[in-house]
Amino acid sequence: MTDTPDPFTNMYEGPAKLKRAMFAPMMGTMDAAKGIDGAVSPEDAKHWAEVGAKLQAMWLQYQSEQLANPQALVPYFDPARWMALATDWYQKMPLAQAEQQKALMEEGMRLWEDVLGQYGLGPKAAEKHGGEVELPRKDRRFADEKWRAHPAYALIHQTYLFLAERVAEMVEKADNLNPQQREQLRFTTKAITEAASPANFPLLNPVVMERTLETRGDNLVKGMEHMLADMRRGQLSHTDASAFTLGENIATTPGKVVHETTLYQLIQYSPTTDKVMETPLIIFPPWINRFYILDLNAKKSFVKWAVDQGVTVFMVSWKSADASMKDVIWDDYVRAQIDAIDHVRERLDVPSVHAIGYCVAGTTLAATLAILHRREQEDKVRSATFFTAQVDFEKAGELLNFIDDQQLAAIKGLSPDGYLDGRYMAATFNLLRGTDLIWNYVVNNYLLGEDYPAFDLLHWNGDVTNLPAKWHQQYLRDLYRDNRLVEGDALTVDNTPVDLGRVNTPTYVQAGKEDHIAPAESVWRITEHFGGPLRFVLAGSGHIAGVVNPPSSGKYQYWTNDGSPRSLAEFREGAEEHPGSWWPDWIDWLREQDGETVPATGKRKPGGKGDKVIENAPGRYVATR
């Protein structure tokens, strides 16, 4: 017999010593101070005791805060809600069937033999002939060499990946599910398996274990500070919010607020060229987010780039909803778009504008155009551009998992004051990419205790806006669930029936190849409903990076097809790929619609002599929570 420990001893010995040291304050610090089993030195024992005391004190402080203010608990994160979701998921899956358990066990044992054989252990040990360990399953969550350095950690993450695969396959084989139920089960399965990753648990993650031992638990103290700060604000942090200030290092393009209502502010940006296009441009960003996604900084700003191309640019800055907006519905946003268009026309004394609608504001712009055509006022809009906007929601992607009657009722219950807290929407969008937008930050910032990066895009992503509850329910019910916008005259907005088939405005449509919020196939459908000349462009990347891609970055690509494709598949088959940003393609198209220019004088320079303005850009509304 040899005194060499079996392959699993080291794995469990380290965590045992770590737990003993961490919980020394509760089990008696004297034992740790004596260095039982050689676990820690007296100095280390004292430090571990201090770490344990800090963790305990921080948690007790947080608990006392919650008990003093029960309303501070965010109902969206109620554990009972998620336990009910998990229970419902389990009941629909065949995991409890004896034959399924037997098959999983047998296949799992074969996997264990294969993995252990890579380390010269077990029945397949003789098959190992040196060289690097080659594990059957790869995943970037387990890319660090520490996940392969010890057979126990290799078994842990390989077993997890194996089970995640098999559970996903069960969804496809589950009986008695209609397509919507199956898609919901796919989504729930993905969310649960992502949450169950061993990378998310400190004692199962070798990277976290090593960091904890190296820092003697200081990473856990810092991580606890991060976690409790997020729990207090009811939102997961992705970036260092203190690194950004509106008007100073984000939303910096010079301009003035020239018009204001209870629903929006209208910003006009100062020209940088002597002459500008005669027809101005008005941008309608989504009120689900802040407008400055299009004005992050000088290098990334679509606004600044357009201004530098000689375009007179107006931007709508929507007000984040509060109790005063409890009766706001979709009609109000359509009326606001028409009001903004009319104000720009009157201010600059021009017959028409170019308009851009991004995401939900693009959906609304489509309805606005239909209404203007019905009222024989279509000449108010010379051209329309749509950034990742949907009008036909049949293929709307994973967000369709949130619009059945049960989900709508749950969302309504989260809006007692007439508006939906933006943190709920942020959590929903995070769930669509759980590994990237939730668990990656749990590991890095809670477990490893790393500092938050100063990243403007992530800052914008967390700068949430509240939504009027009536509008939100109406939007999910009428558009996402019932898809009524594409039915001629099925919806009436501002006392006017909506028929998209009437729209013949020249249109530019941009979709993101990897967009998970407005899938390209869904965005494509606008080509099947509008009747006027239309240019469709498929951009590389997704919902944000596919739009915010300045030419100077040299990133991604875009595709065009000058033929007559009848589907997105046909578009792709005959598409021509172009490197870099699609922005130059768009500005060329815009100039084709209207090439006339005028001097950048008078009210083309907001805030000049005799021009009454309200305040400097970016205005007050973008700063309100």
Extents of the domains making up the chain = 12-27+40-233, 255-623
> What is the CA angle 425-429-430, rounded to 5?
115
pLDDT of residue 73: 47
CATH architecture assignment, domain 255-623: 3-Layer(aba) Sandwich (3.40)
CB-CB contact of 523 with 360 (8 Å): no
Q: What is the mean pLDDT of the chain?
A: 88
Least confident stretch, 98-102, 123-127, 417-421: 98-102
Q: How far is the C-alpha of 529 from the C-alpha of 11, rounded, in Å? A: 61
**Helical packing angle, 9-22 and 151-173, nearest 10°:** 90
CB-CB contact of 264 with 336 (8 Å): yes
pLDDT of residue 86: 64
3-state secondary structure of 275: strand
Catalytic residue among 328, 359, 366, 526: 359
Q: Is the pLDDT of residue 34 over 70?
A: no
Q: How far is the C-alpha of 485 from the C-alpha of 476, rounded, in Å? A: 12
Q: How far is the C-alpha of 511 from the C-alpha of 509, rounded, in Å? A: 7
C-alpha separations of 295 from 248, 307, 540, 612 in Å: 12, 11, 20, 24
Q: How far is the C-alpha of 105 from the C-alpha of 76, rounded, in Å? A: 36
CB-CB contact of 295 with 267 (8 Å): no
Confidence category of residue 104, pLDDT binned at 50, 70, 90: confident
Pairing state of beta strands 557-560 and 534-539?
Answer: antiparallel
pLDDT of residue 568: 97
CB-CB contact of 246 with 623 (8 Å): yes
**pTM for this one?**
0.85
pLDDT of residue 65: 83
Cα-Cα end-to-end distance for the chain: 69
- Is 248 labeled as catalytic in the residue annotation? no
pLDDT of residue 537: 98
Q: How far is the C-alpha of 207 from the C-alpha of 199, rounded, in Å? A: 9
Confidence category of residue 125, pLDDT binned at 50, 70, 90: confident
For residues 343-356, average pLDDT: 98
Q: How far is the C-alpha of 375 from the C-alpha of 530, rounded, in Å? A: 17
